[in-house]
A = this chain, B = another copy of it.
Amino acid sequence: MPMPQMPPAHPFDDDKLREECGIFGVVGVQDASNFVALGLHALQHRGQEAGGIVTHDPVEGFQSARRFGYVRDNFTSQDVMSTLPGPIGIGHVRYSTAGSKGQTAIRDVQPFFGEFAMGGAAIAHNGNITNANALRKELIERGSIFQSSSDSECIIHLMARSLQRNIPERMEDALRRVEGAFSVVAMTRTKLIGVRDPLGVRPLVLGKVGDGYALSSETCALDIIGAEFLREIEPGEMVVITEKGVESHFPFRRQPSKFCIFEHVYFSRPDSILGGRSVYETREAIGRELAKENPVEADLVCPVPDSGTPAAIGYSLQSGIPYAMGIIRNQYMGRTFIEPTEQIRNMGVRLKLNVNRALIQGKRVILVDDSVVRGTTSRKIKEMILDAGASEVHFRIASPPTAWPCFYGVDTPERDKLLAATMTEDEMAKHLAVDSLKFISLDGLYRAVGQDQGRNSACPQYCDACFSGEYPVVPTDMVERGFEMKPAAE
């Protein structure tokens, strides 16, 4: 029963993989909702479609607000924020991945809330449950009524049916039934709970703010509220936080960790810290590695704004070719050009980007982008650059060819829409009609993110399924729907 809410049109973003969620929670502060709103604002790049906040206050009980649109538009007015009192709260921003196809109902917007015999709990989930269909079917047969089409709702129904006597234990029960990738932030009346799946596919970090604590998908959201970054939650760890402190549990069977390598490439904000280093520096390092692997003579290194910028700087530093902003982004574009007239819609990329004609003219240009997904944008950008009079265009891509869909909480096109699934590097260069097109190698990427020995092909240090097709967790629901995995022998 989807509501007639149109997701904002992003003519440009269909050519990127999209992280689908950001999660945030805080306990032990005054007016937790303000902290959650700020945290979600800092995580907005992880989900622009909708957001929600739940808080608890001893007098008012649990309160929630869930809205379509940006945090800054929905969670900044006194009208809304005053309805969310109390010292504890969690929040969620989302893009749709699982759940209703195309359109999202407000019912699908997290956090989800459940009233149990021992009190209420709310949860916010980043990731994707790969056996959600089977779980849902089983729960419905036993009398559960689902209110959303979200895979995440399974967790709260599993918790409702658990025989455990307190909420953290019910959550352990529930999550042991769940397969796939998940980072979860949850809350009861007094406890803030954080969990990462045993592989640690999606990120989750812990911070200290005043006398209280915060959990966040990324450290940039700790910065915005003035919190100190303490540490990453470990794969398979559950933390239960009260105003008194942080308890740590490891309810799952231990496994080798498989953090999503694409967080380094594109999803995380450049000012966030991952693995002890700023994401910006990692991307600059990727650019250097890319320059080492794929040098070319040229006059200028230009980023495809904004996500190609750090790698372009790295490429320039390594190669000695001057860095320049050959493409200018219209800062008023944001991602919200809604309802363009047909004529404007056809202008496509020009609304967002303009080429610095006078700068580019007659130059050999290296364009650095973070990834190529469908290739539609790359093609348009190349045309803009050539129209502006560039003499040569060389594409350099700061990630390996994206040839496989992600089933762990990232919105990917179906496999046959991925340019790299159907073409070799040379075919792609021909298809895009550029003078050259080169991707960083998978080993090069591993080196740039800090694995000096490169990728351990026996047991890769990261989840790199989108590049390698090697899925660390079998995507059960998708396989049932007919998805063909790569033969193991390959």
How close is A22's CB to chain B, nearest CB, in angstroms? 11
Whether the pair A351, B278 counts as a contact (CB closer than 8 A) is no
Task: Report whether over half of chain A's contact residues are helix, strand or loop; otherwise say mixed.
Answer: mixed
Whether the pair A357, B273 counts as a contact (CB closer than 8 A) is yes
**The one of B226, B323, B330 that contacts A323, using a Cβ cutoff of 8 Å:** B323
**The one of B83, B278, B336 that contacts A357, using a Cβ cutoff of 8 Å:** B278
Whether the pair A270, B356 counts as a contact (CB closer than 8 A) is yes
Residue of A45, A70, A277, A278 with highest tally of chain B CB at under 10 A: A278
Nearest to A113 among chain B residues (CB) is: B1
Q: Is A339 an interface residue (CB 8 A)?
A: yes
Whether the pair A83, B3 counts as a contact (CB closer than 8 A) is yes
**The one of B76, B280, B350 that contacts A224, using a Cβ cutoff of 8 Å:** B350
- The CA-CA distance from A343 to B333 in the complex, in Å, is 28
How close is A43's CB to chain B, nearest CB, in angstroms? 10
Whether the pair B339, A325 counts as a contact (CB closer than 8 A) is no
Whether the pair B356, A280 counts as a contact (CB closer than 8 A) is yes
Known: A145-B144, A160-B145. A224 touches B337 (CB 8 A): no
Stretch of A59-67, A186-194, A431-439 lying at the B interface: A59-67
Whether the pair B351, A63 counts as a contact (CB closer than 8 A) is no
**The one of B115, B281, B332 that contacts A334, using a Cβ cutoff of 8 Å:** B332
- The CA-CA distance from A356 to B73 in the complex, in Å, is 26
Whether the pair B143, A157 counts as a contact (CB closer than 8 A) is yes
Q: Is A254 an interface residue (CB 8 A)?
A: no
Whether the pair B328, A269 counts as a contact (CB closer than 8 A) is yes
Chain B residues closer than 8 Å to A333, beta-carbon distance: 72
- The CA-CA distance from A144 to B140 in the complex, in Å, is 11
Whether the pair A37, B344 counts as a contact (CB closer than 8 A) is yes
Question: Of residues 141 to 162 in A, which have CB atoms within 8 Å of B's CB atoms?
Answer: 141-147, 156-157, 160-161
Nearest to A324 among chain B residues (CB) is: B313
Chain B residues closer than 8 Å to A344, beta-carbon distance: 34, 37-38, 76
Whether the pair A41, B280 counts as a contact (CB closer than 8 A) is no
- The CA-CA distance from A331 to B72 in the complex, in Å, is 12
How close is A33's CB to chain B, nearest CB, in angstroms? 9
Q: Is A80 an interface residue (CB 8 A)?
A: yes
How close is A79's CB to chain B, nearest CB, in angstroms? 7
**The one of B82, B115, B273, B328 that contacts A358, using a Cβ cutoff of 8 Å:** B273
Q: Is A23 an interface residue (CB 8 A)?
A: no
Question: Of residues 201 to 244 in A, which have CB atoms within 8 Å of B's CB atoms?
Answer: 220, 223-224, 226
Whether the pair A334, B334 counts as a contact (CB closer than 8 A) is yes
Known: A37-B344, A38-B344. A310 touches B325 (CB 8 A): yes
Nearest to A139 among chain B residues (CB) is: B143
Whether the pair A145, B157 counts as a contact (CB closer than 8 A) is yes
- The CA-CA distance from A360 to B117 in the complex, in Å, is 50
Q: Is A453 an interface residue (CB 8 A)?
A: no
Chain B residues closer than 8 Å to A328, beta-carbon distance: 220, 269-271, 280
Known: A83-B3, A280-B325. A224 touches B117 (CB 8 A): no
- The CA-CA distance from A224 to B346 in the complex, in Å, is 12
How close is A55's CB to chain B, nearest CB, in angstroms? 10
How close is A179's CB to chain B, nearest CB, in angstroms? 21
- The CA-CA distance from A329 to B42 in the complex, in Å, is 10
Known: A144-B143, A271-B354, A341-B78. A280 touches B359 (CB 8 A): yes
Whether the pair B161, A140 counts as a contact (CB closer than 8 A) is no
Whether the pair B72, A347 counts as a contact (CB closer than 8 A) is no
Whether the pair B144, A147 counts as a contact (CB closer than 8 A) is no
Chain B residues closer than 8 Å to A44, beta-carbon distance: 330, 332
Q: Is A427 an interface residue (CB 8 A)?
A: no
Q: Is A295 an interface residue (CB 8 A)?
A: no
- The CA-CA distance from A338 to B313 in the complex, in Å, is 34
Whether the pair A63, B354 counts as a contact (CB closer than 8 A) is no
Q: Is A487 an interface residue (CB 8 A)?
A: no
- The CA-CA distance from A275 to B475 in the complex, in Å, is 59
Chain A residues within 8 Å of B, Cβ to Cβ? 1-4, 31, 34, 37-38, 41-42, 44-45, 48, 54, 61-65, 70-73, 76-83, 113-117, 140-147, 156-157, 160-161, 220, 223-224, 226, 269-271, 273, 276-278, 280-281, 284, 306, 309-310, 313, 317, 322-325, 328, 330-334, 336-341, 343-344, 347, 350-351, 354-359
